[in-house]
């Protein structure tokens, strides 16, 4: 026989264990209690039947009469749903979802309440954990100040704004939320549609990353690294973008400075290599010129009665002297030429060569000079400075084919550690040559002092003029500075250190003056170049001296220790093995009475070289050699 309808519902209620199902009387006392209620609250049937509804509530809720309030709401509406804390038998709390339905009999009389309770503690804990996580994440995002982190809606409008965004871009949340993120782009980037392209790429690929200029609220620009990530909901629908912006202006500037430093280092290394090559070539060329000049001078004496031959020989000597001038420029660039620095007032020097400059410039170019009444002296080789000024003036002339004015000026300057010139602290004189010519662009200006670089066309310049000026300035402890703009002319500045106040100018005797004669001398000539050795020996014998030719320092020492007596030692500096200054030191250790001449085209002579040693610059002429011999002998006699 089928079960009665009432029994079916009873069995159904009793079989449910995940929900507490029980009934209350009209007075709120428990009338029934299923196994789910026993499982949820921990009370057995006999423990709760007849007990009041309020026993399941925490003390705080009982204190505010919450149980009666819930029942009253059910009376008023027929059903009431609430979530609140409930108590188990062991005193533990659990978060409950409570549904209270009013029970009414068929005759409409109020019979009580049906209560359905579900334990939502785990769900509430998960929700609390999620809420706490979201809050922590919000605090984290808001606490980040080095990155601008914010959200965009699918159209690109700002929907959130962290402190980093406010710090980097300058907008408060109320000023920017709701506005399109293209506000941060430059006008030119907006004109090219870059904001839309970034969003489209992120929407299509999921991510867009780029660098570029961005604009702050105050209008200033900064270099930004940006990332746009697409945001999808749980169903895969596109709901917006996450935008991260970082200000990397300082990093970019540091990278640019590093790149410039590397480029400068590379350029310096390249120029050093070129300088070494140039110096080596000039040294070898000097030796060739010495042989040529020496032999031509010997021939000139033997062809005194042949005018036509003398003309040819003079032309050949003039060509050799031009070659010597070229090697001086090459050595000046390599900073290896022989300099004779003396305290010098640049004002009379410039005025003395003004006539030469004016004759070379022609009638369409004039010269203006601007010098102060008082100008400190500089420590420089006067002959080389004259040559440097002539080079600068000729360059200025070539820059003004239609004529103009060249201004030569000088002023004393105190250089400190913050000065833009970058020289050691001290007093300097800035000697400048300015023109009104076509000027130079940045690329040309960067290469202007490179050797053999010229803008004058094939056959119109060696490309060594500015290199020579550069080498002179650097070797003198100063600097060559070029300033130029296209169409605005060029200003070349030679910065030279001032001479110590106690130092007085020395006037070197002319190399071409007739030297003193001391009769026939026994001269030991030492040089590793056979051509130089033979030529110089021939010149010395033509002068009237006896020579001993030695191809190395060791050979010279062997001869001296073997008993060869000499009145003068002339040695080259740059030789394999024992160099010239070392040979002189060893000779003077045994024979201090022997005068010595050190011949070299370089300036790399050790500081320990005795002051009693006469320096002779290569290439030298017959007259210069005679003068050096006279000076060496006289110096030893006076000592």
pLDDT tens, position by position, 489-538: 899 899 999 988 654 444 433 333 333 356 789 999 999 888 888 888 98
| 112 and 15 inside one domain | yes
| 231 and 304 inside one domain | no
| 604 and 533 inside one domain | yes
Domain count, the chain: 5
Predicted local distance difference test score (pLDDT) of residue 124: 86
Q: Which segments of 303-422 does DSSP mark as H helices, in order?
A: 307-333, 346-361, 382-398
Q: Is 409 exposed, middle or buried (0-12, 13-18, 19+ CB in 10 A)?
A: middle
Please give the residue range of the domain that contains residue 280. 266-327
Cα 57 from Cα 60, distance rounded (Å): 8
User: CATH code at 206?
Assistant: 3.30.450.20
**Do the beta carbons of residue 463 and residue 452 sit within 8 Å?**
yes
Task: Annotate 286-309 with b (16+ C-beta within 10 A) or e (fewer).
Answer: bbbbbbbbbbbbbebeeeeeeeee
Specify if 139 maps to a domain. no
Q: Which segments of 485-566 does DSSP mark as H helices, in order?
A: 530-543, 553-561
| 18 and 108 inside one domain | yes
| 102 and 181 inside one domain | no
**Do the beta carbons of residue 78 and residue 90 sit within 8 Å?**
no
Total length of the chain: 639
Those residues of the chain that have pLDDT short of 50 are: 1-5, 333, 335-336, 452, 457-463, 503-516
Domain boundary, last residue among 60, 90, 125? 125
Predicted local distance difference test score (pLDDT) of residue 524: 95
Specify if 489 maps to a domain. yes
pTM of the complete model: 0.40
Specify if 260 maps to a domain. no
**573 Cβ neighbours under 8 A, 6+ residues apart:** 579, 580, 581, 598, 599, 600, 602, 605
DSSP annotation of 204 reads H
Sheet containing strand 110-119, edge to edge, reads 30-33, 20-25, 110-119, 93-104, 79-87
| 480 and 347 inside one domain | yes
DSSP annotation of 55 reads G
pLDDT tens, position by position, 550-574: 999 999 999 999 999 999 999 998 8
| Residue of 56, 48, 98, 45 whose CA lies nearest to 73 | 98
Predicted local distance difference test score (pLDDT) of residue 447: 67
| 318 and 346 inside one domain | no
Predicted local distance difference test score (pLDDT) of residue 505: 42
For the chain, give the longest Cα–Cα distance: 163
Predicted local distance difference test score (pLDDT) of residue 431: 92
Specify if 515 maps to a domain. no
Cα 613 from Cα 526, distance rounded (Å): 15
Predicted local distance difference test score (pLDDT) of residue 171: 94
| 363 and 475 inside one domain | yes
Specify if 137 maps to a domain. no
Predicted local distance difference test score (pLDDT) of residue 317: 74
**6 Cβ neighbours under 8 A, 6+ residues apart:** none
| 289 and 433 inside one domain | no
| 355 and 475 inside one domain | yes
| 386 and 489 inside one domain | yes
Specify if 517 maps to a domain. no
User: CATH code at 609?
Assistant: 3.40.50.2300
| 477 and 570 inside one domain | no
Specify if 254 maps to a domain. no
Specify if 119 maps to a domain. yes
Distance of CA 9 to the CA centre of its chain: 86
Task: Annotate 315-336 with b (16+ C-beta within 10 A) or e (fewer).
Answer: ebbeebeebbebbbbbbbbbbb
């Amino acid at each position: 026989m089928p079960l009665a309808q009432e029994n079916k519902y009873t069995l159904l209620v009793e079989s449910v264990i995940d929900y507490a199902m029980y009934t209350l009387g009209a007075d709120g006392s428990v009338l029934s209690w299923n196994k789910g209620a026993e499982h949820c609250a921990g009370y057995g049937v006999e423990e709760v039947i007849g007990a009041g509804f309020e026993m399941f509530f925490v003390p705080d809720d009982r204190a505010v009469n919450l149980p009666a309030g819930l029942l009253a709401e059910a009376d008023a509406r027929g059903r009431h749903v609430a979530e609140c804390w409930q108590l188990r038998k062991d005193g533990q709390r659990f978060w409950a979802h409570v549904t209270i339905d009013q029970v009414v009999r068929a005759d409409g009389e109020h019979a009580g309440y049906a209560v359905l309770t579900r334990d939502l503690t785990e769900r509430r804990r998960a929700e609390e954990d999620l809420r706490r996580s979201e809050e922590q994440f919000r605090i984290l995002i808001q606490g980040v100040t080095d990155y601008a982190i914010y959200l965009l809606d699918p159209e690109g409008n700002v929907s959130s704004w962290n402190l980093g965004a406010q710090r980097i871009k300058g907008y408060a949340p109320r000023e920017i939320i709701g506005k399109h993120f293209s506000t941060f782009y430059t006008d030119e980037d907006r004109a090219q549609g870059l904001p839309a392209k970034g969003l489209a790429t992120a929407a299509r690929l999921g991510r867009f990353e780029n660098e570029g200029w961005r604009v702050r609220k105050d209008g200033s620009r900064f270099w930004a690294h940006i990332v746009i990530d697409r945001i999808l909901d749980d169903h895969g629908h596109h709901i917006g973008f996450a935008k991260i912006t970082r200000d990397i202006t300082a990093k970019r500037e540091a990278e640019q400075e590093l790149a410039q430093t590397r480029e400068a280092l590379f350029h310096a290394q390249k120029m050093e290599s070129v300088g070494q090559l140039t110096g080596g070539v000039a040294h070898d060329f000097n030796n060739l010129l010495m042989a040529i000049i020496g032999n031509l001078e010997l021939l000139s004496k033997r062809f005194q009665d042949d005018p036509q031959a003398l003309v040819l020989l003079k032309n050949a000597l003039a060509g050799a002297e031009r070659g010597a001038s070229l090697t001086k420029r090459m050595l000046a660039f390599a900073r290896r030429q022989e300099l004779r620095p003396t305290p010098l007032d640049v004002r009379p020097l410039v005025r003395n060569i003004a006539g030469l400059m004016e004759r070379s410039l022609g009638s369409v170019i004039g010269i203006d000079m601007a010098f102060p009444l008082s100008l400190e002296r500089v420590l420089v080789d006067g002959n080389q400075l004259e040559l440097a000024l002539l080079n600068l003036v000729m360059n200025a002339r070539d820059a003004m084919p239609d004529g103009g004015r060249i201004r030569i000026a000088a002023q004393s300057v105190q250089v400190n550690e913050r000065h833009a010139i970058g020289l050691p602290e001290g007093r300097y004189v800035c000697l400048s040559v300015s023109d009104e010519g076509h000027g130079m662009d940045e690329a040309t200006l960067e290469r202007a002092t490179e050797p053999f670089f010229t803008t004058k066309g094939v056959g119109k310049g060696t490309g060594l003029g500015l290199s020579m000026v550069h080498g002179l300035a650097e070797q003198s402890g100063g600097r060559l500075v070029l300033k130029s703009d296209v169409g605005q002319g060029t200003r070349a500045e030679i910065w030279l250190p001032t001479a110590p106040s106690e130092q007085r100018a020395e006037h070197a005797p002319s190399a071409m003056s007739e030297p003193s004669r001391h009769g026939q001398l026994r001269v030991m000539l030492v040089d590793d170049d056979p051509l130089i050795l033979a030529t110089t020996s021939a010149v010395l014998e033509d002068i009237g001296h006896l020579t001993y030719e030695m191809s190395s320092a060791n050979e010279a020492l062997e001869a001296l220790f073997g008993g060869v007596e000499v009145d003068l030692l002339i040695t080259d500096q740059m030789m394999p093995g024992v160099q010239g200054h070392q040979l002189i030191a060893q000779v003077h250790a045994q024979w201090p009475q022997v005068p010595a001449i050190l011949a070299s085209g370089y300036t790399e002579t050790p500081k320990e070289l005795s002051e009693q040693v006469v320096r002779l610059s290569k290439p030298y002429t017959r007259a210069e050699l005679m003068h050096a011999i006279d000076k060496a002998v006289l110096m030893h006699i006076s000592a």
